[in-house]
A and B are shown apart, each in its own frame.
Chain A
Amino acid sequence: MKRRDFLKLAAAVSVAGCATAVPSKARVVVIGGGFGGATAAKYIRLWDPSIDVVLVERESSFTSCPISNLVLGGFSSMQEITTGYEGLRRHGVQVVRDNAVAVDAAKKTVRLARGGDIAYERLIVSPGIDFNFGEVQGFEAAMNAGRVLHAWKAGAQTVELRRQLEQMRDGGVYILSIPLAPYRCPPGPYERASMVAAYFKQAKPRSKVLVLDANPDVTSKAGLFKAAWKDLYPGILEYRGNAKAIGVDAASMTVKLEVEDVKGDVLNVVPPHRAGDIALNAGLITTNNRWCDIDWRTMESKKVPGIHVLGDATLSAPGMPKSGSMANNHAKIAAAAIIEQLKGRAAVPLQIINTCYSFVSQKEAIRVSSVHQWDAGQGTLIAVKGSGGISAARSETEGTFAWNWARTIWADSLA
């Protein structure tokens, strides 16, 4: 018997043998401090302060992907989209800055790059995405050289892409390459194209935004985006569907499509993604070598018991986008379920709401919303019939609500 197991057993015995002993607390470990992981850590503490929560996060603060497109347009700042982890600490979450590199599901331990092993009773993995770089030949080398960026995780690449846009000559071409769905934030690329076009219109009016979309058409809020582009950015923004990037050449600043090569001055190529590395390392990926299938009543992995997977890493339920709103709501499903499971009770399914705003100009936004509920017959979450929809039109009012959503979800997840 290992010493740790002995101590665990000793603790259990002391609780069973003596009514006045304080029972050892259940511990939940959360990997990843984004919209999913941060919210899960906070809500477990909020709803059951008797549970110990340890959050493992690589970065010292959270940088939001939502609103980061406004940073690229020059309409927001990195400071505005960054939130610290002090709020979670105030809820009693132990925030550990480290990198989770492996999970032993049999021993129920997480291996940290620096901090050794940490034991859990339930584990939450909210790793976001990583990229299948190999699907776009030459991309990884060009990215490492700082020449071609994805900026699809807000942070250093957001800052660098903004710098590239600022340095680009007037009359230059910015190319945005979008992977086949499913990818993180369906409307995100079209918002980004709009924000860069708004910047060019203001500062470099002879420049062009060229959108090369691997999908046949705009995948989200298509009518609203296209109306905005026609009204606001004629002659600036060009959209091409069925234009899948298969390679990049940084020396000639070329994006290689299946049938032609396209040259630009700033290349922003978003490669196809999959669940983040720790999901891969922990054996949680179930589908197409990319996503993690889970039970939508609990967010528990269908492959590895005791581990809950949240956010963009999940195999999406029908009609459910990979969004910050959804990751935040996934976290609440997991928090409620884990609290019940630790008490030996069955989890009750939650009904959740998605709302995604996209800016199409500095102040105007458009929106898509949906309500998702558990359907026992289909064994998944489905959109409630008759609910949800999109904005009637782009408006500054929606822009005001978009900013409210951003500030409120940052606080709901982290404060």
Chain B
Amino acid sequence: MRVFFLAAAVLAAFPVAAQDIQGRNLAAACAICHGTDGRVPAGAPVIPLAGLPRDHIATQMRAFRDGKRPATVMHQIAKGYTDPQIDALATWFAAQKR
């Protein structure tokens, strides 16, 4: 138990690991429409990304990018992202609390 609490304290002091910083930084740009950490108020016309399954986010981003899912704006935004970037974004949003 003491070990657990110690680990929790360390995590709180260093909340983000290096690979998460990449996802965090990429995701921050999405917040202007999708909300801080992917959380939007109920009833908003955009999808709340926080806590969505990782594979779902990544699949939809690729579908937007490759023109397989129609959109007003996401088809144009998604073309700015590589596969590894999409995976990092999806991993990060999936890990956020709804």
Contact = CB atoms under 8 A, between A and B. Distances in A.
A47 B72 contact: no
A19 to B, nearest CB: 15
A351 B85 contact: yes
Given A384-B80, A408-B44, A352 B29 contact: yes
B46 A348 contact: no
Interface stretch (B2-10, B18-26, B51-59): B18-26
A329 B29 contact: yes
16 contacts: A328-B32, A329-B29, A352-B29, A353-B32, A353-B77, A355-B33, A369-B73, A387-B80, A392-B72, A404-B40, A404-B44, A404-B45, A408-B31, A408-B33, A409-B32, A411-B36
A351 B44 contact: no
Contacts of A50: 13
Given A348-B25, A401-B73, A386 B79 contact: yes
Interface in B49-71: none
A305 B21 CA distance: 25
A355 B32 CA distance: 8
A367 B79 contact: no
A384 B79 contact: yes
Interface of B: 13, 15-16, 21-22, 24-26, 28-36, 40-41, 44-46, 72-73, 76-77, 79-81, 85
Q: Which 9 A-B pairs have the closest CB atoms?
A: A371-B80, A387-B80, A384-B80, A389-B76, A387-B79, A353-B29, A332-B28, A412-B31, A409-B32
B80 A388 contact: yes
A43 B76 CA distance: 26
Nearest to B27: A332
Given A47-B24, A401-B46, A388 B32 contact: no
Interface in A356-382: 367, 369-371, 373
Interface in A22-49: 43, 46-47
Given A46-B36, A404-B44, A411-B36, A351 B29 contact: yes
A405 B32 CA distance: 6
B26 A351 contact: yes
B32 A336 contact: no
A47 B16 contact: yes
B80 A412 contact: no
Interface in A380-415: 384, 386-389, 391-392, 395, 397-398, 400-401, 404-405, 407-409, 411-412, 415
A328 B79 CA distance: 21
Contacts of A369: 73, 76-77
Contacts of B79: 371, 384, 386-388
B37 to A, nearest CB: 8
B95 to A, nearest CB: 15
A404 B32 CA distance: 9
Nearest to A400: B45
Contacts of A387: 76-77, 79-80
Contacts of A408: 31-35, 40, 44, 46
Nearest to B74: A369
- Which residue, B28, B30, B41, B44, has most C-beta atoms of chain A within 10 A? B28
B21 A412 contact: no
Contacts of A386: 79-80
Given A352-B29, A397-B72, A371 B35 contact: no
A350 B29 contact: yes
B46 to A, nearest CB: 6
Nearest to B73: A369
Nearest to B18: A348
- Which residue, A325, A329, A408, has most C-beta atoms of chain B within 10 A? A408
A319 B45 CA distance: 28
A330 to B, nearest CB: 11
Contacts of B35: 408, 411-412
B80 A336 contact: no
B35 to A, nearest CB: 5
A350 B36 CA distance: 16
A348 B76 CA distance: 25
Nearest to A409: B32
- Which residue, B29, B30, B34, has most C-beta atoms of chain A within 10 A? B29
Nearest to A325: B32
Nearest to A403: B45
A43 B77 contact: no
A389 to B, nearest CB: 4
Nearest to B25: A350
A57 B62 CA distance: 42
